[in-house]
Structures are given as structure tokens and as C-alpha cells.
Amino acid sequence: MTNPHPGLPELEYLKPASLAEASKFLADHAGQARPFAGGTDCFVRLRDGVLKLNALVDVKGLDGTQEISFDPSKGLTIGAAVTMNRIAAHPDVIKYYPNLVEAVNSVASYQLRNRATVIGNICNASPAGDTIGTCLVLEGVLNVHGVAGMRQIPLKTFFTGPGKTVLQPGDIVISITLPVPPKGCVGVYKKLGRNIISDLSIVGVTVMGYPSSESQSGYRFKIALASVAPTPFEAVQAEAVLSEKKVTAETIAEAAQVAMDSINPIDDVRGSARYRKYMVRNLTREALTEVWSKLTH
């Protein structure tokens, strides 16, 4: 009988002294090496033989990867090696980004979050990534170092498919910058899993709302959906309903229905496509109702 967990293969371990050294090695060993920080995903995949590599590049000592800082004009910057527990405990994150704290704390267990990182969650590019929705609605921008130097990639353009991104050989995501949330912003993350903790989401719904003089309704809502498409995405048609019409229980229900109609999920071991569609509607309505209540009370 084949062992489903054959164990870790022999790997070359590189701890580069500079970003340039790291990018050059990764570019020279494209398809054979990858960067890692927490390793909570890649080590499992290596153990199970799903991921096949010859080398791992440890980025934890590189410039910017351990940074977590808040600037009132630029926003929050989170380095690639900053663990989820560090994020959840940071006073500026708690004060200005409570919805990120909620999303981070929904991931697996406390012990795992001592290793897991938001950048790893993003670069894994799972359709079910718990922290991706919050970073999407906050319009996060990734700071990436490649063989040609630094560049920025808006998170909304980052994903190309399950497990696939726009990153090129030699690219390392150093950090993500989340702009300062709009004044009066309220957010919530709703996750449906097979159990209360430690499970991948069957459906993930992130909602953010805030007053806006540019919307006919006087409010702007942002809605991100996970586990219901090849990549996490923003439900812009559902958002438009709430910007163009007076916000009521009826328009919230309409927006939730539009969100449901915008997805084409798959059947898998965690849930059927039909179940996912209905739960997107229900969780979107629930999240919007909660956010609207907080905005108006």
C-alpha cells in the first residue's frame, strides 16, 4: 500500500543575505526552488509529494519581511515573515483594521498561527484563503522584489487561477500595504466550515461598508467572496446594488441574491456547488445586515 505521507524529501536550504541574492537564486532555479517564511502550507505539500522542489529559500531575514508598521497617511505594511498572531496582537491593527484581526483569527489554530503568515496565505493562492477577502476589500497592494528590483502589484490583479499568480521566476513578495480604511468603516468576515475551527472554508464572505458622498445611497459597500470561484474575487455587481439604491432589508436581500447569481462554484469534498450558492446568499445577507446595523447605530 502506498504511503499517503511519504515524508519530506532532501532539499537544499538557502538563507540569502540580500534580496538580490534571493531573487537571483530563485530565477536561476525556476520551478525547482521557492521562497518560504512560515512553511505551514509548503511543508505539508512537500511531505505529501504534491509539491516537488530541490531547494527552499528562507526569506525571514530579508529586508522588510519582519516589518509591521502603520502610517496614518500610507496605511499598514505587513512583511512576508510576520506571523498571523503578531498581526492579531498589534495595537494599530486592532484599532484600525479589526476586520483583519477577525479574518486572521479564523485561520486554523493558535499554534499554527504562530508560524502562518498573511503573505503565505496570499501567495498560496487558494480560492479558500481566509485573509484574502479582507485584503481585497481594503485594496491591498503587494510589494514585490524581482530580478529587476522592486515593483508593486495590486492584489486584485494578483491571482490567475487556483494556486496560480502573476509572479515571475525570481519574484519574492516582501510585504503587503493596506491603505487606511475609509472614515466610519465597518467590516466583518463570515466563514462557513465543516467545524468551528481548523477547517478550510466552504464559503467565505467579507463585507466592508462606510459612508460615501459619491454613492447615491450615501454608503459604499465592498463584498469579497472565497471558496466559490477559481480565485477569491470582489462581487462588484452586488456592491453596485447597495450604492445605487437606498439601503433597506430589501436591497440587502437583492444584493445577496446578485452575489449568489455571480458565482459558479464546484462540487468537492467540503460542499456541493448548490449548497455553496445558497450559503453565499445567506452569509452575504447576514454580513451586510450586521455591517449596516453597525453603520446606523
The pLDDT of residue 119? 98
pTM of the model: 0.95
Question: In sequence order, what are the residues at sequence separation of 6 or more whose Cβ sits closer than 8 angstroms to the Cβ of residue 112?
Answer: 40, 198
The predicted-structure confidence for 129-142, as pLDDT tens digits, reads as follows: 999 999 999 999 99
Mean pLDDT of 186-206: 87
DSSP helix/strand/coil, 254? helix
> Which 3-state string (H, E, C) describes 152-193?
EEEHHHCEEECCEECCCCCCEEEEEEECCCCCCCEEEEEEEC
Domains detected in the chain: 12-58 (3.30.43.10), 68-178 (3.30.465.10), 186-296 (3.30.390.50)
Say whether pLDDT at 1 is over 60: no
Mean pLDDT of 155-173: 98
- Separation of alpha carbons 134 and 222, rounded Å: 10
The string of DSSP letters for 48-110 reads: TTSS--SEEEE-TTSTTTT-EEEETTTEEEEETT-BHHHHHH-HHHHHH-HHHHHHHHTSS-H
Question: In sequence order, what are the residues at sequence separation of 6 or more whose Cβ sits closer than 8 angstroms to the Cβ of residue 235?
Answer: 223, 224, 225, 258, 259, 262, 284
Contact 279, 272 (CB under 8 A): no
